[in-house]
């Protein structure tokens, strides 16, 4: 099970939007088992995750994470989200196979 955290300042806005997009994405592939959790910036360091997805504006807040970090420039560009998150899932699978 891949643990994916979507992070924003309050854990309500962009993290919820990203979480919903990613859940829909991984639900389309029966070979991917992922738990997607939106979290606020204060909680994110105490919540273990394999992949962290956030906006580019939050980069400095997640740069020290041991997780694979995905930075999204445009939240409403579903193709960008899909492409970058699938690349991170592939990277995770390659490291853990």
Q: What is the rounded distance in angstroms from the CA atom of residue 59 to the CA atom of residue 29?
A: 28
Average confidence (pLDDT) over 33-46: 89
Q: Give the model's confidence band at 1: pLDDT under 50 very low, under 70 low, under 90 confident, else very high.
A: very high
Single pTM value for the model: 0.92
Q: Is residue 89 part of a domain?
A: no
Q: What is the rounded distance in angstroms from the CA atom of residue 79 to the CA atom of residue 2?
A: 21
Q: Is residue 92 part of a domain?
A: no
**pLDDT tens for each residue of 6-27:** 998 765 688 999 999 999 999 9
Structural domain of 76:
2-80
Average confidence (pLDDT) over 64-72: 93
Domain count, the chain: 1
CATH code of residue 39:
3.40.50.2300
Average confidence (pLDDT) over 57-86: 92
Q: What is the pLDDT of residue 11?
A: 56
CA 89 to chain centre: 10
Q: Is residue 93 part of a domain?
A: no
Q: Which residue has the higher pLDDT, 71 or 63?
A: 71
Cβ pair 32, 89 in contact under 8 A: yes
């Amino acid at each position: 099970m891949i643990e994916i955290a979507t992070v924003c300042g309050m854990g309500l806005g962009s993290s919820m939007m990203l979480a919903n997009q990613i859940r829909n994405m991984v639900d389309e592939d029966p070979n991917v088992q992922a738990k997607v959790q939106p979290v606020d910036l204060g909680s994110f360091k105490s919540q273990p995750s394999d992949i962290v997805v956030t906006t580019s504006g939050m980069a400095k807040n997640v740069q020290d994470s041991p997780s694979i970090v995905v930075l999204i420039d445009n939240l409403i560009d579903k193709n960008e989200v899909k492409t970058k998150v699938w690349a991170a899932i592939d990277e995770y699978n390659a490291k853990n196979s």
